[in-house]
Structure 1
Amino acid sequence: MGNIKWIFVLYSVLAAVSLMGVAISISLASPLLAAGSIIALTIIMGFGFTTKKRYREEGRL
């Protein structure tokens, strides 16, 4: 339990919030909010994968 990488928890929570944003935008019929949520999700996932690669290369995973 002490081996939690909190940055990955943060990325996961932010990605989940972005997905909720997509669902909310669909319910509100707001294409602008949907586009913003999808862009945010793409950026957050990109940061997560980049961080994971960097951690793996440094031997921290």
Structure 2
Amino acid sequence: MKDIKWIFVLYSIAAVLSMCAIGVAVGFRSIPGGIAAMIALTLVMGYGFKTKKKMREQGLL
């Protein structure tokens, strides 16, 4: 358990919730909701990859 990088767990949960929000927006036929969920997904995944790169450069991974 000590090898788990909890920040990445949080990023992945946030990404999954954003993907679910896309499905909910499609179900409600909400174009603004779908666009907002896609933007949120892009931001969350971008921050996750950025954090991973930074941690790899610092030798933490």
Question: Structure 1 length normalisation: TM-score?
Answer: 0.98
Query: Which residue of the partner structure matches residue 56 of structure 1?
Result: 56
Amino acid at match of 1:16: V
Number of equivalenced pairs: 61
Give the Cα–Cα distance (whole angstroms) in 1 for the partners of residues 38 and 19 of structure 2.
8
Query: Which residue of the partner structure matches residue 11 of structure 1?
Result: 11
Give the Cα–Cα distance (whole angstroms) in 2 for the partners of residues 43 and 26 of structure 1.
20
Give the Cα–Cα distance (whole angstroms) in 2 for the partners of residues 32 and 14 of structure 1.
19
Query: Which residue of the partner structure matches residue 23 of structure 2?
Result: 23
Query: Which residue of the partner structure matches residue 33 of structure 2?
Result: 33
Q: CA deviation at 1:2?
A: 1.3
Question: Identity of counterpart residues, as a percentage?
Answer: 46
Structure 2: where are the runs of 5+ without partners?
none
Structure 1: where are the runs of 5+ without partners?
none
Amino acid at match of 1:58: Q
Structure 1 stretches of 4+ with a deviation exceeding 2 A read none
